[in-house]
Every structure is written in structure tokens, then in C-alpha cells.
Structure 1
């Protein structure tokens, strides 16, 4: 395995939940992925975009941030850690649909 070039820095981050995901499954794990090592070119025959950089396809999952950092350090990979953004959840109360003096219109 060749060592990454100066532009191939491993990125360690916690991926955000998808818009279709309401639960907490797979939302507490950390990922390690590499920045692109070379630009993509169009294949003259098929017209598909591609490159010879196979590290861009690699995504490793870890249970904790410390495990991901330990893996990068054990393999001599330069890395950057992106801390997760705080999630703000506004609690909704069903009873508020029927409260006295509400200003919103009834929608259903």
C-alpha cells in the first residue's frame, strides 16, 4: 500500500442523518474517508468520470472517535477531525393542536 500524497488527508467525521431518517440508528458512529488524490477525467469511450485514485472509494466506520484517530495514527495517515454540529430538536406536543387561544389555522 502506498502512502498518501500531501493532498490525501484522511477526514474523520460523524456523518449527518439523512432527511428520511427519524431514528438514531447509525447516527453515533464515526467515519474515516480520504480527500480526492487526483481530479476525475472523462473516459473517451464511455464518457464516465473516473480517476486512478482508489482511496476516494474507501470509507471506514468506527464506533468511537478515539478508534478512528488510533487507526489513522497506527497507519501513519495525516488526518483532520471534524466535530459534529449540535442537533436542535424542538419538542412537539399533540395537545397544542387543541389549546384555547391558538393563533394558527386548523389544517386538517
Structure 2
């Protein structure tokens, strides 16, 4: 069983920074999704795909993965680059 550990990205549509500090352990899909013959909706028998575990820091997420034998890959959060711009720059 493999998983990835990542930090929640900031929502581009909002200026708030709530829930950005938590780290998420998300399991990798075990099999491909197939269309249901009756409804046509895509789905699979993999229930681990629905699980997201939240941790306060990356060390806690790694410790959980090590304790339960989960091969976890940590995806570092890219640094945020702020584009400082004045309102007056819109009219130049």
C-alpha cells in the first residue's frame, strides 16, 4: 500500500489561510476506475481512495505511515511567490 503526504494548497479564490498548516496522508489508487454498467458512473472497488488522514505536521504523518507499514512519499510544498503590486500600476 502506498500513499502520499502533502500540505493542502491555498485556494486561489479566497484570501484566507485556514487549514493550510495541516498535512494530509492520501492513499494511492490501487486499481483503475471503470464505468458502472447500469448507471455509467466511474467507480472502483478500492475503498482506500476515499480515505484522507489529516495530521498537524509532517513528522506525525510520517510516524503514522511507518507505524502501519505504509510506503509514503512526501511532496514538499512549493514556496509561495508574492507579486507585490500597487493599485496605481493598473493605470500605467
Do they superpose with TM above 0.5?
Answer: yes
Partner of 1:74: 67
Give the structure with the higher percent strand: 2
CA positional deviation for 1:20: 1.4
Please show how residues 84-95 of structure 1 align to structure 2 within 5 Å: 84-93=77-86
After superposition, the CA RMSD in angstroms is 1.7
Q: Which residue of 1 aligns with 2:91?
A: 105
Question: TM-score w.r.t. structure 2 length?
Answer: 0.89
> Structure 1 length normalisation: TM-score?
0.77
Poorly superposed stretches of 4+, deviation over 2 Å: 90-94
| Post-superposition CA distance 1:8-55 (Å, at most 9, x none) | x11001121111121211111110001110011111011111100000
Aligned to 2:45: 52
Q: Counterparts of 1:68 and 1:41 in 2: how far apart (Å)? A: 31
Q: Which runs of 5+ in 1 are unaligned?
A: none
